Amino acid sequence: MGLPRLPEPFHRVYSPPDAPKAKARRSGVVGAILAVVAAVALAAVGVFAFARDGARPKAGSTMVDRPPRSGVSTTARPAPPSQAPVFATIPNACDVLQPATVRRWVPTDRPTVDKMGAETASVCKYSLSQGQRYRAVQVDARAFLPKYMHEQATSMTIWSYEAQWKQAVKDLTPDTRSLRRIGGLGDAAFERYWIDRDVHVAVGEATVRYRNVVLRMQYTEEQPAAKDRAASEQRCLANAIAAARAGLPAFH
């Protein structure tokens, strides 16, 4: 997946021209690029995630208001519509679910924990393997922080979420039993259930957009017999959604 190129601010030159602040501009762009690199790198690691992120966003233009001419009165612009506040920081993925909550789906006091992450994106996977029995819960949390994205934090979050939806649609296979948008969870959400025959597991997934955060929860269990697939689908999706609902309060 390619790295989205963030649009550089367009500075309109007036007379007399002001010298551009090169260092400030470069540092802002570098910070934004580093934030996106961290999120993209986390999404690309196949050892933790079952799904891939989507395509490159289209670069948008930055609109600059023309200053009023000298001596010409102007009316005040109406205030822009208020937006929900964004999060300045997010918790690490391993801090999103409480231990007692994890034990609901991974019934052990000492699960295997695989984790990695950075300031803007992290993944934490709890798993238990006992013979043919397998249980896992994976937390994937990423955010577009305002200190890197400024006023684009929310719009970039929407783009990332929609890119994941489009990629899920693109990745549909005969073993994908469910893929649909759902309501009542965050600002937007979709669920997915599929069978991974390579590793013989069934996966229920809930992907949630909430302010400037995209939270993806996966619940995994051993692959069911054909006659038990409907029950597995219902159980995996219910557990993934319950995990997402339990994890959202960690973002405040």
Q: What is the CATH number of the domain that holds 217?
A: 3.40.1000
Question: What distance in Å separates the CA atoms of residue 252 and residue 246, rounded to the nearest whole number?
Answer: 13
What is the SS3 assignment for 1?
A: coil
Average of per-residue pLDDT across 79-88: 71
Question: What distance in Å separates the CA atoms of residue 4 and residue 6, rounded to the nearest whole number?
Answer: 6
Domain annotation covers residue 188: yes
205 and 139 in contact (C-beta within 8 Å)?
A: no
- pLDDT digits over 120-138, tens only? 999 999 999 999 899 999 9
Cβ partners under 8 Å of residue 61, min gap 6: 7, 10
CA dihedral 37, 38, 39, 40 (to 10 degrees): 40
- pLDDT digits over 193-228, tens only? 999 999 999 999 999 999 999 999 999 999 999 999
Domain annotation covers residue 233: yes
The pLDDT of residue 11 is: 42
- DSSP letters, 13-50, are P-SSPPPP-HHHHHHHHHHHHHHHHHHHHHHH-TTT-S
- pLDDT digits over 232-250, tens only? 999 999 999 999 999 999 9
Say if residue 59's pLDDT is above 90.
no
| Higher-scoring residue by pLDDT: 56, 18 | 18
The pLDDT of residue 77 is: 52
Element (H, E) at 169: helix 153-170
Question: What distance in Å separates the CA atoms of residue 55 and residue 151, rounded to the nearest whole number?
Answer: 22
The pLDDT of residue 56 is: 34
32 and 4 in contact (C-beta within 8 Å)?
A: no
Average of per-residue pLDDT across 16-39: 47
Domain annotation covers residue 71: no
Domain annotation covers residue 36: no
- Domain span including residue 99: 93-250
Residue type, 220: T
143 and 208 in contact (C-beta within 8 Å)?
A: no
| Higher-scoring residue by pLDDT: 76, 194 | 194
49 and 140 in contact (C-beta within 8 Å)?
A: yes
154 and 124 in contact (C-beta within 8 Å)?
A: no
Domain annotation covers residue 23: no
Domain annotation covers residue 73: no
The pLDDT of residue 215 is: 99
Say if residue 27's pLDDT is above 70.
no
218 and 240 in contact (C-beta within 8 Å)?
A: yes
Two tokens at 16?
């007399």
Number of domains in the chain: 1
Domain annotation covers residue 81: no
- pLDDT digits over 30-55, tens only? 454 445 444 544 444 443 444 333 33
Domain annotation covers residue 40: no
- pLDDT digits over 99-120, tens only? 999 999 999 999 999 999 999 9
pTM score, whole prediction: 0.70
